[in-house]
Amino acid sequence: MSTSTRPKRMSPAAITALKGNRPIVSLTAYTAPMARLLDPHCDLLLVGDSLGMVLYGLESTVGVTMEIMIAHGQAVMRGASQACVVVDMPFGSYQESKEQAFRNAARLLKETGCDAVKLEGGAEMAETIAFLTSRGVPVCGHVGLMPQQVNATGYRSQGHTEKEAEKIHRDALAIDEAGAFAIVIEGTVEPLAREISSKLSAPTIGIGASPACDGQVLVSDDMLGLFNEFKPRFVKHFAELAPLISEAAQAYAAEVKARTFPGPEYTFQPRARKD
């Protein structure tokens, strides 16, 4: 495909410009094949550190490393050609100082070719976000329930008390003013997420928040029904792939045991000799 006909990748600025026009469609992607399937339908693909739990079986996202995020960021970039690709900065890669954050954000951009990074945190991260954005690093913010802080807060919805609601509101305003091009609002009571979305200049992307957010994101494996053991309240299964995969594996095992697979059509036969 020539460069003149290749679809133009959605930029962070283009994501921001969608606010007030139409909802932003976002899903997580961790591999090239999945990115290739999701890319035509999404404005933004998030290489989330949720891959630690989804792909690696970790109990939280805290154990995810820069090397893991870079490897999966590279994979998604090989599969995506249209969507804006955002890579999560893992726990410990940006909290120490704004200079540490810049070094690691620059590494993610350079080594993956992604369009932007995402980091968690509110008012305490505003200075860091301003530092990054002023130096050419597009940043997506993340407020409300913050999975990287699970050891301190646990997994529970946020904004139920006046104190929690005020903090989330302050956090969102602070990182909006710091220059985040978009802000994820996670696990936050609906009226609060709705109110915040109406007051920010940056678009909000909800997950367990509000339909009034400027966009929505889900973990793709949740959306596809690959996990049936635990289904968060905010997850809708748009497919039920887990039982299909199990049934396919059962059928495969039965044919292998019966020696009906592989049949002749799935094997290589000797070529006829030429005399």
pLDDT interval class at 154 (50, 70, 90): confident
Does pLDDT of 13 surpass 60?
yes
Residue 222 CA neighbour count, 13 Å, CB half? 18
Q: Is 214 within any annotated ligand binding site?
A: no
Q: Is 49 within any annotated ligand binding site?
A: yes
CB atoms within 10 A of CB 275: 3
Is 272 part of a structural domain of the chain?
no
CB atoms within 10 A of CB 12: 20
Is 3 part of a structural domain of the chain?
no
pLDDT interval class at 152 (50, 70, 90): confident
Neighbouring residues of 83: CB distance < 8 A, sequence distance ≥ 6: 9, 10, 35, 38, 39, 42, 43, 44, 45
Is 260 part of a structural domain of the chain?
no
CB of 94 closer than 8 Å to CB of 128: yes
Is 268 part of a structural domain of the chain?
no
Q: Is 124 a catalytic site residue?
A: no
Q: Is 118 within any annotated ligand binding site?
A: yes
pLDDT tens column, 17-73 = 999 999 999 999 999 999 999 999 999 999 999 999 999 999 999 999 999 999 999
Q: Is 222 within any annotated ligand binding site?
A: no
Is 262 part of a structural domain of the chain?
no
Predicted local distance difference test score (pLDDT) of residue 7: 67
Short-list 109, 110, 120, 175, CA closest to 142: 120
Is 261 part of a structural domain of the chain?
no
pLDDT tens column, 254-269 = 999 999 999 999 999 8
Short-list 135, 69, 140, 67, CA closest to 102: 135
Tell me whether the omega of the peptide bond preceding residue 262 falls within 30 degrees of 0, making it cis.
Answer: yes
Short-list 67, 88, 61, 103, CA closest to 217: 88
Token pair belonging to 235: 């997850």
Q: What is the CATH number of the domain that holds 117?
A: 3.20.20.60
pLDDT tens column, 228-243 = 777 778 899 999 999 9
Predicted local distance difference test score (pLDDT) of residue 5: 54
Q: Which segments within the chain are labelled E, that is strand?
A: 24-28, 44-47, 84-88, 116-118, 139-144, 182-186, 204-207, 215-218
Is 200 part of a structural domain of the chain?
yes
Does pLDDT of 105 surpass 50?
yes
Neighbouring residues of 105: CB distance < 8 A, sequence distance ≥ 6: 89, 94, 117, 132, 137, 139
Short-list 172, 9, 179, 143, CA closest to 80: 9
Q: Which of 111, 127, 177, 186 is catalytic?
A: 186
Full residue range of the structural domain in which residue 57 is found: 12-240
Is 17 part of a structural domain of the chain?
yes
Q: Please, what is the average pLDDT of the chain? A: 94
Token pair belonging to 244: 């299909």
Domain count, the chain: 1
pLDDT tens column, 199-230 = 999 999 999 999 999 999 999 999 999 987 77
